[in-house]
Structure formats: structure tokens, C-alpha cells
Amino acid sequence: MSHSPSSFDEMIAADSSIREAYSGYRDWYDGQDQAALRRKGKEAEGFFRKTGITFNVYGDNAGEERLIPFDMIPRIITAREWRKLTKGIEQRVRALNAFLHDIYHRQEIVRAGRFPQRLIAENAAFLPEMVGMVPPGGVYTHIVGIDLVRTGPDDFMVLEDNARTPSGVSYMLENRETMMAMFPELFSKVPVRPVQDYPRRLAKSLAACAPACAGENPVVAVLTPGIYNSAYFEHSFLADQMGAELVEGSDLRVIDGRVAMRTTCGYTPIDVIYRRVDDEYLDPLTFNPDSALGVPGIMDVYRAGRITIANAPGTGIADDKAIYSFMPEIVEFYTGEKPLLANVPTWRCSEADSLAYVLDNLAELVVKEVHGSGGYGMLIGPTSSRKEVADFAVKLRAKPENYIAQPTLALSTVPIFTKAGLAPRHVDLRPFVLVSPQGIDITPGGLTRVALKKGSLVVNSSQGGGTKDSWVLED
Amino acid sequence: MLGRTANGTFWMARYLERAENTSRLLEAGFRMALTRDAIASHEEWRSVILTVGATATYEAAHGEDYNGDKVWNFLLRDKGNPGSVLAMIEAARTNARSVRTALTREVWEAINESWMALKEVLARPVREAALGEVLGAVRRQMTLVRGAMDGTMLRNEIHNFTRIGTFIERADNTARILDVKYYVLLPSVAWVGSSLDNVQWESVLRAVAGERSYRWLNAGKMDPRGIASFLILDQRFPRSLAFCVDKLRSNLFGLAHEYGFETSAHELMRALGTTFQHSNIETILEGGLHEFITDFIASNQQVAQAIEQDYRFYA
């Protein structure tokens, strides 16, 4: 088994012993027949196809449904590690919400000279429509995905905050279902904390954010762009599991100051919309007038406090990678505490000194677009050709404020199952966080994304990444 | 439930039913063609295309060439035919996907697996030797879906809309088959009772899976009048017009019961029900079978349209 010595292997220590988190699992694994495991891998693929756990691809083969490859070796986190992580995540999410409230109100952080006004004013994700209004329950990011990477035994870092519309939670749930169906006996040997009640917790959390006009049992609906959206499976899955209505823009209309859905018996008001439609498509009267995905007039209802939109419009600004670089300051400013979770060191190319450094060291760095996502439009210096680096330098010089740079991290590895046995691959982790006036709720586990290609650091499913079941062990 | 969801379940059921009916019709056509020479079998195949109402689309692609393998490939899998079995299964699955939250896991998986299996089976042109097997596969898959629906769906509005879609489509199909046989395939009265005539009637029964039931009831006697009566009026036969109308009525009134109000569709339904109560095969033949069926197809269609409007299928 080969693995690069510079990366932290989460299963196997340098002296080839099995780390604590994986000891129970390895006992089980070593007793398994390899041929039987290979068969199971094929079964898993059949299960995903049959269930329709697919994502749609845009572009070349538009309309085609693909599977995100699933690897059957779990990613395991000990109870101690998880406790530490959750404290850091909770602190960060509290800070994110306070920051969002602040930038849409008095902008104290700017007045205090701790954050540049420019990053707000020039940001397309900043919505003037949100200025001065408080969302029902005071919550901006009801559902957050914090992308974590690991570089050592105690070194977890935040790579990205997903405050807009974090996706992937259905994979967290279906991966667990699949593992339990494939290896039921494993779960009686290794005590794993359950994730299955996430939809129930989500429903509860969303209901707790309902506006004052809602009845005792708030009506919750999931708003999807429709079956051709790449994450449609997840939208329908969550609505199904929550017992919520799955609605499209064409089902909704503003009637008597409320947002209502067209049922077979007429229009019925709804209280909470978990929307999986981007801000700009939400309301053709306020934002993109060509949008057929949204609801004309919903922003007026929202500003009148008669509907909850989760996540709140305008939260996407917190996903911006230039703003990310200020997260340590943001956490400190709003919580008065040192950040428990580190940021990845980040150079803002908008700053002349940083730009000069980045240009000098481009071949060693990872450069990302500040508004980019999905692993598109980025440069990974060490795995790029000289020409690619040179071409990227041209783009960078032309629009430096569009980029940030980070060191190429030695992401930790977890083995995947291959024909030749276990082989280490780089991973990240996206835990899912629910926020309501009742508190912050973090489901133990999350989505582990894994780069299936040997040596690759890109875990995005759009770039050939796969997923793993993520276990948090019981105490 | 959402109007769009009612729409999705209704059309899902219609497409599934239509896919099954098309394959049954092909099966009957295939059998009929086997018993005839090449030239005559073209007429049978032409009637199959006519029955599904695809003459214009077909002739745009193949002209007047009604060769068997062209017809069955057209009806099973031709990309240029929006009414092909494959296109119907795909449309049913797309509708099922859009109303995923209204379906049980088993129903969704049965539809999704049918789509996966039939896409595979119909990926390449179907040769004559494989046709029987392919048609059997379509029927089997649809039976699995029906079984999942029957065994797992809550008997509520969702189920009502699904059943309504099924019986609107089925009634339409049986009516068309009967009409084509009676009105188109019968060149002159002199043919009545000929062996060709009998073979054709048998194939009609076959296309609606009624040959065994009919023989059981009539001791094997092929009698056009008896068959017409069976397909139109026999309430015991699950593909007869009377049966479909009865199911349509009970599901529509199920909705009225659940919602606490009736709609214009209920009025139309009552009128259609009355037509059947006051009909027997003598009065139908007297007034003209073709006229009766044409009226029926139109009334059935009106009920469907009223349902779409009354229950807010569209924004």
C-alpha cells in the first residue's frame, strides 16, 4: 500500500498501526472476504440507480443522470474529535449569522475598521433589499455546510463556508442507508451515531423559524427549480422525508399578502419556504425579471414578515472567498473569542503585496475565484503544467480582485476500496448545521467527499470525486 | 395536494397504461400478421398504426411502407415517434420523478426500474424473433408497477387521480380498437362471419387481454355482436368501457367525498353513466356502433379535460 508521506493518513499511523478511530472497523474488515466485498460494491451501484439517487449533468450530455461514485470504506471520526469540531463549528455559525445581521444593519464591523466596506458594496451577492429587515426568528443561515479539511491529528481547518444553499445532505443519509443495507452486522460491532433523524430535525428547525402569522403547525414547503436541476433528487428526498410539499415556482402565488400554493382545492398559504432556488431567481419583480422559477411578489411578503425564506436572501455573500479570508476577524468581532477552527491561510490578490507573492509562487499555490464554486475556474499550481500556470497568471494580473490564493494543503487521506485492496485518497468533510431560535444543531457526521484519482486533491463531484459514509463514533 | 402533483400522477398513470396498451395492440397485430400473407399483413399493420392515431407521424417517416418490422420498431422505440412505448415509459418516469413525494418508494422504484430495464431492451432495433419476448417484457414491467401501486399506495386523493388517469386512458384505448375493427377493417358485410373476420375479432380480444374471458363466457363462439357487447357493456371485464366508466365514477366521487364538493366533471360523469345505464347492444347497433364509440371517446375526453380544470392541474 503506497501513500504519500506528507499527508495525514486517517486510518494508518506512520508505524503502520491502526489509529483509534478505525480499530473496530479494521477488525471487522480484516475478517471479510475480498471477493464478497467487490460484489457488494457492484450491488451498491445498482441500489443507487434503482432508487434514483442521481445528479443531472449540465453541458455536453445535458439531461443525462449520473451517479456520484460511492466508496464503501467509511470515514471515521472519534467522539473526542467530533466534540472539538462541533464547538468550533457552532462558534463559526453563530458568527456568520451575527455578521450577516450586521452587514444588513449598522455595519458595526466596518465602523470598527475590522472589515473593508468595499467587500460588501462591490459584492453582487449583497442584496440592498435586505437592508434594515430582520428575517423571522432573526436567522439568516438556517442550513449551513462547513467544509473542513484535515492536515494532521488535531489539525482541522475550514476550507469554505456554504451559507447559501449547501447541498449533499441526501448523500449523507443515503450513504448511511446503503452501508446499513450492505453491512448490517458492522453496525452492531462498531457504535456509530445515527444521522437518519436529520430530516426530522430539519423540519423542526424550519418550523421553529416560522413567521408570527403561522398557525400551530406551520406549513413548510421545499421550493425546487424542477426535475432538471442537478440536485433535484435531494430536493424531492428532503421534502419526502420531512413530509413537506415539494413546490415549483409555478405552484406559488401571492394571495392576500401571503405566499400560497395551488392545491387541487384552491390556494393554501404556506409559512416556511426551504428554497433551493438562487436569490436572483426568487422574485421576478425584485430580481431577475425573466425568472420563471420564483414567485412574483414574494419579497414584499417577506419584508412584511409573513413568510420565512430559508436560507434568507442575501446570505450568499458569506460564501464569498474574499470574505472567507476575514473569518478569523469576523469570529472574534462577534463572539469575543478566538476562533476554535482555523482558516486556511489566504492571500487576497486584491492587495498588491499579496498579489506579488502569489505571482512569484504560483506553481506552489491553489488559486480560486472569489465567487466560484464546484471546483471550476481554479488553479492547482503543483499539478498544473507550466503553460497552464503561465496562462493563469495572465488572468490573475488582469483581474486580481477576482482571486484568492492558498497554500496547497496536504489533505488527509482515508483509504478507498480498489481492486487491489485499500488505497489512500484525499478527503474533505462537510458537516450540516441547522440554525433556529432554539439553537444550533449539528448532525454527527456529514458528507465526506473523496478524490478517487490517486494523488488528486479535487473532491468535487463535478470533477470526478466520490463520497463515503461518514461516521462519528459513540462515546 | 398540489394541482401539479395531481396532474403528474394522472399523466404518469395514463402514459403507463398507454405503453401497455400499445404493446398489447402490437402483440395482436403480430399474431394476426403471422396468419396472413405479406400483402394482407400490411393492412393489419396499417390498422394498428391507425388505432393508436399515429398515421401521419408514421407516414412522414416511412411513407406507405407498412412492413411489420418498421411498424413495431416505430411503435416501440422510434425516436421520431413521441407516442412510442419507450417514449411513454420515459414520460411516465419523468412524471413520477416530478411527483416523487406523492409516491411510495416501491411505486417509484418499480417505475424507475421499468424504465431502466426497457431502455436497455429497446436500445437496439427489435428483430422479429425477439418481438414476443420484448412485448412480454413490457407487459411484465407494467404488471410490476400495477402491483406496487395496488399493494402500497394509500387510498386517498393521490390514488384517485392515478386511477382516474388509468381508466380514462384504458377506456379510450378499448374504444379505439373496437372502432378500427368495426369501421375500418370491415370492407363489406359479405365478410362478416368469414374466417378472416373471426381471426380479426379474436385479435381484438387478444389486444385487450380478453380472449380467455370471452371464451369462458361464450363457449368459444366468435360473434361480433357478442364481442362488441362484451367490450362495451360487460361490467365484469376490466378493459370494457362499462368497467372503466364505473371505476372512473367511483374514483371521481371518492374525490368529491374527500374534498366535500363536486365539480363540473361530476356532472359530465353522471351523464356518461346514464348513457351506459340506458344502453344495450341492440340500441347501440341500431344507432350505429361507430357513432356510439365516437361519442364515447369525446365524452371520455371531456371528463378528462374537466378534471384537469376543476382540480387546477395547470397554473
Query: Do both A398 and A445 map to the same domain?
Result: no
B/e letters for A86-104, b = 16+ CB within 10 Å, e = fewer, are bebbbbbbbbbbbbbbbbb
Q: Which domain holds residue A386?
A: 345-408
Q: Which three cell numbers stand for residue B144?
A: 410490476
Tell me what the mean pLDDT of segment A367-381 comes to: 81
B113 touches chain A (CB under 8 A): yes
Query: Do both A132 and A202 map to the same domain?
Result: yes
For residue A94, the distance in angstroms to the closest alpha carbon of chain B comes to 33
Query: Do both A352 and A451 map to the same domain?
Result: no
- Confidence (pLDDT) at B188: 56
B62 touches chain A (CB under 8 A): no
d(CA A166, CA A160): 11
Asked if the Cβ–Cβ distance from B3 to A49 is below 8 Å, we say: no
Query: Do both A75 and A99 map to the same domain?
Result: yes
Residue A365 located in a structural domain: yes
For residue B147, the distance in angstroms to the closest alpha carbon of chain A comes to 17
pLDDT category at A471 given cuts 50, 70, 90 is: very high
Asked if the Cβ–Cβ distance from B315 to A250 is below 8 Å, we say: yes
Query: Do both A402 and A417 map to the same domain?
Result: no
SS (H, E, C) chain B: CEHHHHHHHHHHHHHHHHHHHHHHHHHHHHHHHHCCCHHHHHHHHHHHHHHCCCHHHHHHHHCCCCCHHHHHHHHHHCCCCCCCHHHHHHHHHHHHHHCHHHCCHHHHHHHHHHHHHHHHHCCCCCCHHHHHHHHHHHHHHHHHHHHHHHHHCCCCHHHHHHHHHHHHHHHHHHHHHHHHHHHHCCCCHHHCCCHHHHHHHHHHHHHCCCHHHHHHHHCCCCCHHHHHHHHHHCCCCCCCHHHHHHHHHHHHHHHHHHHCCCCHHHHHHHHHHHHHHCCCHHHHHHHCHHHHHHHHHHHHHHHHHHHHHHCCCCC
- Confidence (pLDDT) at B183: 72
* B181 closest CA partner among B156, B207, B158, B159: B207
**CB of A258 closer than 8 Å to CB of A269:** yes
pLDDT category at A370 given cuts 50, 70, 90 is: confident
Tell me what the mean pLDDT of segment A427-456 comes to: 96
Query: Do both A359 and A387 map to the same domain?
Result: yes
Tell me what the mean pLDDT of segment A362-374 comes to: 85
Query: Do both A187 and A321 map to the same domain?
Result: yes
Asked if the Cβ–Cβ distance from B112 to A52 is below 8 Å, we say: yes
- Confidence (pLDDT) at B14: 98
Q: Which pLDDT tens digit goes with each residue over A132-154?
A: 999 999 999 999 999 999 999 99
For residue A219, the distance in angstroms to the closest alpha carbon of chain B comes to 13
Q: Which pLDDT tens digit goes with each residue over A68-111?
A: 889 999 999 999 999 999 999 999 999 999 999 999 999 999 99
A64 touches chain B (CB under 8 A): no
Q: Nearest Cβ partner of A49 from B94, B108, B116?
A: B116
User: Taking a contact as any Cβ pair under 8 Å apart, which residues of chain A between 434 and 473 contact chain B?
Assistant: none
pLDDT category at A2 given cuts 50, 70, 90 is: very low
The enclosing domain of A373 has a CATH number of 3.30.1490.270
Query: Do both A444 and A398 map to the same domain?
Result: no
Burial of A184 (0-12, 13-18, 19+ CB in 10 A): exposed
* A209 closest CA partner among A440, A443, A435: A435
**Which chain A residues contact residue B255 at CB under 8 A?**
264
A247 touches chain B (CB under 8 A): yes
pLDDT category at A3 given cuts 50, 70, 90 is: very low
A240 touches chain B (CB under 8 A): yes
A323 touches chain B (CB under 8 A): no
Residue of B nearest to A52 (CA): B112
Asked if the Cβ–Cβ distance from B97 to A250 is below 8 Å, we say: no
Q: Which three cell numbers stand for residue A37?
A: 466485498
Q: Which three cell numbers stand for residue A175?
A: 450513504
Residue of B nearest to A268 (CA): B2
Q: What phi and psi, each to the nearest 5 degrees, are found at residue A145? A: -120, 120
| Interface test mutation site (partner A, options B10, B94, B100, max chain A beta carbons within 10 A) | B100
Query: Under DSSP, is residue A409 helix (H, G, I), strand (E, B) or coil?
Result: coil
Looking at A386, A408, A430, the residue that finishes a domain is A408
**Cα A115–Cα A116–Cα A121 angle in degrees, nearest 5:** 125
d(CA A473, CA A444): 9
Cβ partners under 8 Å of residue B124, min gap 6: none
User: Taking a contact as any Cβ pair under 8 Å apart, which residues of chain A between 263 and 282 contact chain B?
Assistant: 263-266
Tell me what the mean pLDDT of segment A409-429 comes to: 94
Q: What is the mean pLDDT of chain A?
A: 92
**Which chain B residues contact residue A49 at CB under 8 A?**
116
Q: What phi and psi, each to the nearest 5 degrees, are found at residue B188? A: -155, 160
Asked if the Cβ–Cβ distance from A246 to B1 is below 8 Å, we say: no
**pLDDT over 90 (residue A427):** yes
Looking at A408, A430, A460, the residue that finishes a domain is A408
Output B40 or A9, whichever has higher pLDDT: A9
Residue type, A118: R
Residue A1 located in a structural domain: no
Q: Which pLDDT tens digit goes with each residue over A271-307?
A: 999 999 999 999 999 998 888 899 999 999 999 999 9
Query: Do both A32 and A118 map to the same domain?
Result: yes
Asked if the Cβ–Cβ distance from B3 to A246 is below 8 Å, we say: no
Give the number of beta-carbon pairs within 8 Å between A and B: 60
Q: Which pLDDT tens digit goes with each residue over A312-334?
A: 999 999 998 889 999 999 999 99
Residue A435 located in a structural domain: yes
B257 touches chain A (CB under 8 A): no
Looking at A408, A428, A452, the residue that finishes a domain is A408
Asked if the Cβ–Cβ distance from A251 to B315 is below 8 Å, we say: yes
Query: Do both A69 and A122 map to the same domain?
Result: yes
Query: Do both A415 and A359 map to the same domain?
Result: no
B90 touches chain A (CB under 8 A): no
Residue with cell 428575517: A135
- Confidence (pLDDT) at B193: 67
Residue of A nearest to B116 (CA): A50
Residue A7 located in a structural domain: no
Asked if the Cβ–Cβ distance from A265 to B109 is below 8 Å, we say: no
B/e letters for B217-231, b = 16+ CB within 10 Å, e = fewer, are eeeeebebebbbbbb
Q: Nearest Cβ partner of B97 from A52, A248, A250?
A: A52
A292 touches chain B (CB under 8 A): no
d(CA A225, CA A246): 10
**Which chain A residues contact residue B94 at CB under 8 A?**
227
User: Taking a contact as any Cβ pair under 8 Å apart, which residues of chain B between 29 and 48 contact chain A?
Assistant: none
Q: Nearest Cβ partner of A264 from B108, B311, B315?
A: B311
**pLDDT over 80 (residue A224):** yes
**Cα A74–Cα A77–Cα A81 angle in degrees, nearest 5:** 170
Q: What is the ipTM of this complex?
A: 0.88
Residue of B nearest to A260 (CA): B2
Instruction: Indicate the pTM of the whole model.
Output: 0.91
Cβ partners under 8 Å of residue B263, min gap 6: B256, B306, B307, B310, B311
Residue A6 located in a structural domain: no
B109 touches chain A (CB under 8 A): yes
**Which chain B residues contact residue A248 at CB under 8 A?**
4
Q: Nearest Cβ partner of B109 from A51, A236, A251?
A: A51
Asked if the Cβ–Cβ distance from B4 to A262 is below 8 Å, we say: yes
Residue of A nearest to B311 (CA): A264
Query: Do both A259 and A398 map to the same domain?
Result: no
Asked if the Cβ–Cβ distance from A264 to B1 is below 8 Å, we say: yes
- Confidence (pLDDT) at B194: 73
Number of domains in chain A: 2
Output B285 or A375, whichever has higher pLDDT: B285
Residues of chain B with pLDDT under 70: 184-193
**Cα A99–Cα A123–Cα A290 angle in degrees, nearest 5:** 115
Residue A15 located in a structural domain: no
Asked if the Cβ–Cβ distance from A239 to B101 is below 8 Å, we say: yes
Whole-Å CA distances, A456 to A168, A362, A391, A410, A449? 21, 18, 21, 11, 12
- Confidence (pLDDT) at A291: 86
Residue A5 located in a structural domain: no
- Confidence (pLDDT) at B180: 85
Asked if the Cβ–Cβ distance from B259 to A264 is below 8 Å, we say: yes
Q: Which pLDDT tens digit goes with each residue over A164-219?
A: 989 899 999 999 999 999 999 999 999 999 999 999 999 999 999 999 999 999 99
d(CA B293, CA B315): 32
d(CA A66, CA A52): 10
> How many other β-carbons are positioned within 10 Å of the β-carbon of residue A75?
28
Asked if the Cβ–Cβ distance from B100 to A246 is below 8 Å, we say: yes
Q: Which pLDDT tens digit goes with each residue over A15-48?
A: 999 999 999 999 999 999 999 999 988 888 888 8
- Confidence (pLDDT) at A294: 93
A25 touches chain B (CB under 8 A): no
